[in-house]
Amino acid sequence: MLFLGFGKAVSRTALLFSILVAVAAPIFVSAASLQAQPQANPQDHAGHEGMGHDGMDHEHMNMAMDAPEDPVAAERRRAKILADKRESEFNHHLAGVLVAIAGLFMLFQSELTKRWPGVRYVWPACFLLAGIFVLVWSDTELWPFGHRQWLEALQNNREVLQHKTFAILLLGLGAIEWQRARGVLRSAWSAWIFPVIAITGSIILIFHHHEGGMVGEHHMETMARIQSEHLSYTVAGLGIGLAKGLSEMKSRSLAIFGKVWPILMVILGVLLIFYRE
């Protein structure tokens, strides 16, 4: 009977995880089609910038503006900038969908797990999928999609380094919460991993280096909008981390925060879904 019950639990978990993967698979395929677009010089793009490693310095920019630009080169540059913009927006939208799904499942987990115990694995799986996506697909100028080497990009481009840092945080969080959902990890410290990572990620986001779309006639407006969007993500992330930490204190007066932080996760997911450059 013990083995039968265990087998049923594994089967339900596998089914739920398969459903989640089936939902995410078309999105990953769409991402692959975006990344299959021809890229210009691999050194021209670093984390959706459409420029050099950390942007073009003022002297070179002025020289480029003064010199007449070849129409074919100009068209390629515009196509490259548009492709980078679409890629960046898609990455944010996908992350938003996964974050919103995780938040919804956490918000209703106590009710759902009574009927489907395997539901408790869904939200850690969302973080694992998001981490894998950000690690592999967030900077398509890197191998295997582009010709740029990982080590060189990590050393010379702050945005690439930050993207991979976010990926590691997401993977670590997903792995920890998966083990907690299994009941394998029950140490008191494990409950504080989520708040610490949420707050750490939010602080890193304050210093996020993003230059995608920072060219063209309306680049100042674009810059202001992206900064405003990132600020909203930072505020939401800090709220999630703080509320999750308070909910772990097991106090009746703080029990409300057990519902607050999943709601904030859904809000963060929606904000990411509506990201635009």
Strand residues in the chain grouped as ranges (E): none
User: What does the pLDDT read at residue 159?
Assistant: 87
Mean pLDDT for the chain?
A: 78
Query: Using CA atoms, how far apart are residues 105 and 17, in angstroms rounded to an integer?
Result: 13
* pLDDT tens-place string over residues 207-235: 876 655 455 566 788 888 888 999 999 99
Q: Which of 81, 121, 18 is nearest to 211 (CA)?
A: 81
pTM strictly above 0.75 = no
266: which 2 tokens?
Answer: 């859904």
Give the length of the chain.
277
* pLDDT tens-place string over residues 5-59: 434 444 444 444 444 444 444 444 444 444 444 444 434 444 444 334 444 444 4
User: What does the pLDDT read at residue 181?
Assistant: 92
Do residues 47 and 226 lie in contact, with contact meaning Cβ atoms separated by under 8 Å? Answer: no
Go through 221-245 and write b for each residue having 16 or more CB atoms within 10 A of its CB, e for each that does not. Answer: ebeeebeebbeebbebbbbbbbbbb
